Chain A
Amino acid sequence: MSDRHDLLIEQLASPDPTTRRYAAEDLGDLHDPCAVPALVEAVRDPQVAVREAAVDALVVIGGQAVSEHVAPLLEMEDVALRNYAIEVLERVGPESIDVLVAACKSASPDVRKFALDILGKVARGCAGRCLDAVAALLGDDNPNVAGSAAEALGRMGDSRATPCLANHLGGPPWVQLCVFSALSQIGGETALKVLRSVEVGQLSPYTKHFYDSSLKITEASVRRP
Chain B
Amino acid sequence: MFMNDDEVMGRIRGLIELNTGICLGAKKDLMLSHRLERRMAASGSLSLKEYYFLLVEKDRYELNNLIDEITVNETYLFRDFPQLQGFAEKVLPPYLDAKRLNRDYRMKLWSAACSTGEEPYTLSIILHEMIRDYPMWDVGIDATDIDRGVLAACREGVFCDRSMKDTPVPYRIKYFSKIESGWQVDPALSSTIKFGRANLMDRGDMRLRRNYDFVFCRNVLIYFSEDSQRKVVNGFYDALVPGGYLFLGHSESVGRLTAAFSLERMDKFLAYRKPP
Name A residues whose Cβ lies closer than 8 Å to a Cβ of B.
18, 21-22, 25, 47-49, 52-53, 56
Contacts and interface: CB of A to CB of B under 8 A. Distances in A.
Contact of A52 (B203, B207, B234): B234
B235 to A, nearest CB: 10
A49 B258 CA distance: 8
B180 to A, nearest CB: 49
20 contacts: A18-B238, A21-B238, A22-B207, A22-B238, A25-B203, A47-B260, A48-B258, A48-B259, A48-B260, A49-B234, A49-B237, A49-B238, A49-B258, A49-B260, A52-B234, A52-B258, A52-B259, A52-B260, A53-B234, A56-B230
A26 to B, nearest CB: 9
B236 to A, nearest CB: 11
Contacts of A49: 234, 237-238, 258, 260
A209 B59 CA distance: 49
A164 B45 CA distance: 54
B165 to A, nearest CB: 39
Interface string B191-235: 000000000000100010000000000000000000000100010
Interface of B: 203, 207, 230, 234, 237-238, 258-260
Contacts of A56: 230
Contacts of B260: 47-49, 52
A25 B235 CA distance: 11
A11 B237 CA distance: 19
Contacts of B237: 49
Nearest to A52: B258
Main secondary structure of the interface of A (DSSP, over half): helix
Nearest to B237: A49
Nearest to A53: B234
A91 to B, nearest CB: 10
Given A49-B260, A53-B234, A56-B230, 11 more contacts: A18-B238, A21-B238, A22-B238, A25-B203, A48-B259, A48-B260, A49-B237, A49-B238, A49-B258, A52-B258, A52-B259
A47 B203 CA distance: 21
Contacts of A18: 238
A21 B234 CA distance: 10
A18 B259 CA distance: 16
Contacts of A53: 234
A41 to B, nearest CB: 19
Contacts of B234: 49, 52-53
B203 to A, nearest CB: 8
Contacts of B238: 18, 21-22, 49
A218 B230 CA distance: 38
Contacts of B259: 48, 52
Contacts of A52: 234, 258-260
A47 B207 CA distance: 18
A49 B260 CA distance: 5
Contacts of A22: 207, 238
Residue in B207, B230, B234 with the greatest tally of chain A CB atoms within 10 Å: B234
A22 B234 CA distance: 11
A40 to B, nearest CB: 19
Contacts of B258: 48-49, 52
